[in-house]
Amino acid sequence: MSIVLRPSRVWSNGESREGWSVRVSGERIEAAGPSLLGEETVDLAGATLLPGLIDAHSHLFLHPYDEVSWDDQVLKEPESYRTVRAVTHARAALRAGFTYLRDLGTEGAGYADVSLKRAIDEGLIEGPRLQIATRAIVATGSYGPARAAYRPDCCLPQGAEEASGVEEIVRAVRVQAAHGADWIKLYGDYRAGPHGETVPTFSQDEMKAAVDAAHDLGRPVSVHAGSDEGLRRAALAGADTIEHGYGGTRDTFALMAERNIAFLPTLAAAKAIAGYFGDPRNNVERSVKSFAHARASGVVIGCGSDAGVFAHGDNARELELMAAHGMSANEALVAATRVNAAILGVGHELGEIREGFLADLVAVDGDPSAEISALRRVRLVMKGGKAVAL
Ligand SMILES: [Zn+2]
């Protein structure tokens, strides 16, 4: 059974083609071009058809911190409750046209993402394709909930698995990979300084050992880093992607470019947190400045929003901010499709509209390559050739 999708234009990898259609057969794209015929036709006049969007940084097990603080989510919400929430979050992201997410850690919800991914893959629930990081790894005492904020004899579950020393961090990498982590996520720095300053948390040796152990197991590594030193250590250790980078300098982004490490700016996270808690560290300004440094350095820039900090399904915020701060709408779309597919190692069958690629597609009213906010007007979402009920 073949379906022809007939939008006003087809957009893929930076190019718009007026009057093109796409024919889907089974779970794949059979053809893209003018005047295609099929057994069934879906009229999408006025719409642009794009590859399914990819968000390379989400937290399906979190919801916005102005609803419930991050500490309270980690300490008071049972894993079962958080999993139910994650099911609804996954559906929201898919319906917004995000057919693939890299979910970078359950933040205290253990290995629940392994089951979430399985349920989506088995078709039990609706959601994007997922790459997951399971518990993620932090240096002992560097993350949250912060011990100093609670009585010292408190049972204080942490937002990620703690490790100290080469032996422990290598062990954590191996255990998480064994449980099903597609990515190993490390927190390379955090607000662990005496006055809450962001400081590097893992030594260069620890980070290098973790990256090597992950790579031996065929797992790429994502590093959360906000300080320039955190970014530098992650780059020297050979990480595959670095997230946030608000304090990154031009030289460090150039080092990342040289070492073929991708950058995910998470502009939306800084903006969301500033919106509900204020911005004493000037993270919004810093994120915009570092984004400009990154662009000038030639580092590969993907699209990762940190959804969870703000509402799931609102993932397009990151593209809107990238387009508001220097990229064209077209470049932002390429980042969230072809570039992200390459970062996730699936560029051979996702991220573009091409014959033989998986039929993960989204149609939106208007032309998002000219006006990025058109992404909000979703007409159709298809994952693996199946239309999603909107
Ligand atoms: Zn995150």
Q: How many CB atoms are closer than 10 A to CB 171?
A: 14
Cα-Cα-Cα-Cα torsion 147, 148, 151, 152, nearest 10 degrees, comes to: 60
Task: Give SS3 for 293.
Answer: helix
Dist. CA 190–CA 82, nearest whole Å: 24
Element (H, E) at 241: strand 241-244
Q: What is the DSSP letter of 147?
A: G
Centre of ligand 1 to C-alpha 176, Å, is 17
Band of residue 242 on the pLDDT scale cut at 50, 70, 90: very high
Dist. CA 315–CA 324, nearest whole Å: 15
Centre of ligand 1 to C-alpha 58, Å, is 6
Centre of ligand 1 to C-alpha 268, Å, is 11
Centre of ligand 1 to C-alpha 57, Å, is 6
CA-nearest of 338, 349, 328 to 300 is 338
pLDDT of 154: 83
**HSE value, Cβ hemisphere, 13 Å, CA-based, for 205:** 5
In degrees and rounded to multiples of 5, residue 291 shows phi and psi of -60, -40
Dist. CA 118–CA 179, nearest whole Å: 12
Centre of ligand 1 to C-alpha 363, Å, is 28
In degrees and rounded to multiples of 5, residue 54 shows phi and psi of -125, 130
pLDDT of 186: 98
32-62 pLDDT, tens digit per residue, is: 999 899 999 999 999 999 999 999 999 999 9
Name the CA radius of gyration of the chain, rounded. 21
Centre of ligand 1 to C-alpha 55, Å, is 12
Band of residue 320 on the pLDDT scale cut at 50, 70, 90: very high
Q: Is the Cβ–Cβ distance between 367 and 48 less than 8 Å?
A: yes
Q: How confident is the model over 180-202, as a mean pLDDT?
A: 97
Task: Give SS3 for 364.
Answer: strand
CA 289 to chain CA mean position, Å:
21
Tokens of 245: 């980078």
Centre of ligand 1 to C-alpha 308, Å, is 8
Amino acid at 176: Q
Centre of ligand 1 to C-alpha 243, Å, is 8
Q: Which CATH number fits domain 2-51+351-387: 3.30.590.10, 3.40.50.2020, 3.30.1280.10, 2.30.40.10?
A: 2.30.40.10
Centre of ligand 1 to C-alpha 304, Å, is 9
Q: How confident is the model over 326-342, as a mean pLDDT?
A: 98
Centre of ligand 1 to C-alpha 387, Å, is 29
Centre of ligand 1 to C-alpha 27, Å, is 31
Q: How confident is the model over 316-320, as a mean pLDDT?
A: 98
Amino acid at 367: D
Instruction: For residue 46, count CB atoms less than 10 angstroms from its CB and return exposed for 0-12, middle for 13-18, buried for 19 or more.
Output: middle
228-239 pLDDT, tens digit per residue, is: 999 999 999 999
Can you give the residue ranges of every domain in the chain?
Answer: 2-51+351-387, 53-315
- Tell whether the model's pLDDT for residue 84 goes beyond 90: yes
Q: Does domain 53-315 have CATH number 3.20.20.140?
A: yes
Report residues near ion ligand 1: CB below 5 Å.
306
106-146 pLDDT, tens digit per residue, is: 999 999 999 999 999 999 999 999 999 999 999 999 999 99
Share of the chain above pLDDT 70, in %: 100
Centre of ligand 1 to C-alpha 318, Å, is 13
Centre of ligand 1 to C-alpha 113, Å, is 14
Q: Is the Cβ–Cβ distance between 22 and 12 less than 8 Å?
A: no
* pTM over the 0.75 mark: yes
Band of residue 387 on the pLDDT scale cut at 50, 70, 90: very high
Dist. CA 57–CA 59, nearest whole Å: 7
pLDDT of 166: 98
pLDDT of 155: 83
Mean pLDDT rounded to a whole number for the chain = 98
- Tell whether the model's pLDDT for residue 225 goes beyond 90: yes
